[in-house]
Structure 1
Amino acid sequence: MAFRFFIPAIVWGLVILMAISMPPGNIPKSGIFSIPHFDKLVHFVLFAVFGLLFSFGFFKQSKQGIFHLRFVVFTILAGVIYGSLTEVLQHFYFAGRDGNIIDVLFNLFGTVFGVLLFSFILRIRPGFLK
């Protein structure tokens, strides 16, 4: 497996880890952050980018330049595992943070959206990513 193609997804995974470990006191309480359930949108967007970058990694490491169904499954599985892990870390290890199953679902929805967006980009612009 060509590890280098997954570096953007791994770096983004670290960005996610930094974001979810941020103490609640460091997050503004006004403006866009005061929108009810704004954190769910943040989870969705963070994991949509994760799904997109992970899909890109699988696509680029494929010798045929094809986005196989197994890549979709692996990407979604990676999103579920990492999304669940981040919630466990929030619940048990990050002070002032709490993990919950709804956040895991939004992590999953974001990952699936990222995979679908990648697939859509491949269909409308097949040569764009080669």
Structure 2
Amino acid sequence: MKSTFKYYGPAILWALFVLILCAIPISVREGEGLFFAGFDKMVHCIFFFVLSVLYCTGSIRKWHTRNIRIEIAMKNTIVLLSYGALIEVLQSRVFTWRSGDWHDLLADTIGASMGIFAVLVTGNAINSNK
């Protein structure tokens, strides 16, 4: 457990932060955003972008690679999408003051994919020979 937290500590803390924010009751009418329509989707996308970058960074550190390998990227994608689905199920079943929206899961998927892509591009740029 200690070694897991060593590599994935920032991602775990960010995931807990996301879970807490997704559990807080907010007073916004259905179909409206906090500041504008679609604000909730943008927030989900940003949350999962940051989470995927932190999780991929932990994977790179754990496996001592210079960039994220495809099998690690696939595993990270599955873990992140499962976490997004868990949040939506919790919002619809446990946090009854929130609504579980599958469009939020799509926003989570887009954010996670963007984060993994950003890590891949950044890793390739850093490790390329000129």
Classify the TM-score, shorter chain.
0.7 to 0.9
**For the residues of structure 2 that align with 1:95 and 1:51, how far apart are their CA atoms?**
27
- The 3-state SS of whatever aligns with 1:33 is coil
Match of 1:82 in 2: 83
Partner letter of residue 90 of structure 1? Q
Match of 1:99 in 2: 100
Identity score, percent: 25
Q: Report matched runs for 1:23-34 at 5 Å.
A: 23-25=25-27, 33-34=34-35
Q: Following TM superposition, by how much is the alpha carbon of 1:42 offset from its aligned partner in structure 2, in angstroms? A: 0.3
Match of 1:7 in 2: 9
Match of 1:109 in 2: 110
**For the residues of structure 1 that align with 2:24 and 2:99, how far apart are their CA atoms?**
12
TM-score, length basis structure 2: 0.86
Distance 1:10 1:70, change over 3 A: same
- The 3-state SS of whatever aligns with 1:36 is coil
Q: Is the 8 A contact 2:49 2:114 kept in 1?
A: yes
Partner letter of residue 115 of structure 1? I
Q: Is the 8 A contact 1:23 1:95 kept in 2?
A: no
Q: Is the 8 A contact 1:88 1:99 kept in 2?
A: yes
What value does the CA root-mean-square deviation take over the aligned residues?
2.0
Match of 2:19 in 1: 17
Q: Is the 8 A contact 1:44 1:106 kept in 2?
A: yes
Q: Are 1:121 and 2:128 matched, yes or no?
A: no
For residues 52-72 of structure 1, give each alpha carbon's deviation from its aligned partner in whole angstroms, at most 9, with x where no partner exists: 111101111113434211110
Q: Is the 8 A contact 1:51 1:75 kept in 2?
A: yes
Partner letter of residue 14 of structure 1? L
Pairs aligned (count): 122
For residues 89-116 of structure 1, give each alpha carbon's deviation from its aligned partner in whole angstroms, at most 9, with x where no partner exists: 0001113101021111111111111101
> Which moved further from structure 2: 102-111 or 117-126?
117-126
